[in-house]
Structure 1
Amino acid sequence: MTPVSTAAGELDRPLAVVPPGERGATRIADRVVAKIASQAAREAAGTLPPGAGRPSASVVVHHEVAHVRVHIELDYPCDIGARCRTVRHHVVERVGALVGMHVPEVVVQVERLHLAAAPGEGRTR
């Protein structure tokens, strides 16, 4: 390190040389975090009923903290609370592991319930 002299001829503390791998900053876009969250919701939701849309997510990131909202469709009957809990836990885990962000909350919004029709049942005229 080389000492730096000021205009008055005084010596300041030496300049630190920052290695190239430690310079700069990394910014992960909200839509990237949303894609990771929706994939995690797909993994956690299990088998979805026929005709159900894929889970989607919206995310707001502020200072390395991600607030996540997940939209899913489930089959009915099922333990809705347990499935939502599983989705929340998995989304927090995957977002934290893949992008290193803190996720204080995951709002799971069940958009639609699909009635599981028993064989031979259905609409009749």
Structure 2
Amino acid sequence: LALTDAGLTGMTELALSGEQVDLLFSEERLYVPEAAELPVHTGLVLQSERGKALGRVTADGNVKLVRGDREAFGLHGRSAEQRIALDLLLDPEIGISSMGGRAGTGKSALALCAGLEAVLERSQHQKVMV
């Protein structure tokens, strides 16, 4: 995991073969031994000779593909970190999320839009409390 002055970033880079990336895009999940050793929900920048992709480590040790076109209440993640955060916030299997970072990086906007998406668009919850 990357370490900054503010602490761990929750992101790391991982090299995959082109075949692994193709399989990840077709299946949307892939077991990668190196990723299984990382903490759950670690964001991954996946690099191969064919390009880059985003993923995150699931509770069962697999890599889940994080698509860049995901949105919550009209908000898109602009950076890799925001896209991973949005994917985590929109996952109904994750009950509580905690994000840290510098002011102005979009944490509140992502959380609020994910909450509104869950209540107003998907009817997964009854209300958002701020």
TM-score above 0.5? no
The structure with the largest alpha-carbon Rg is 1
Q: Which has the higher contact order (CA 8 A, sep 6+)?
A: 1
TM-score computed with the length of structure 2 as normaliser = 0.28
* TM, length-normalised to structure 1: 0.29
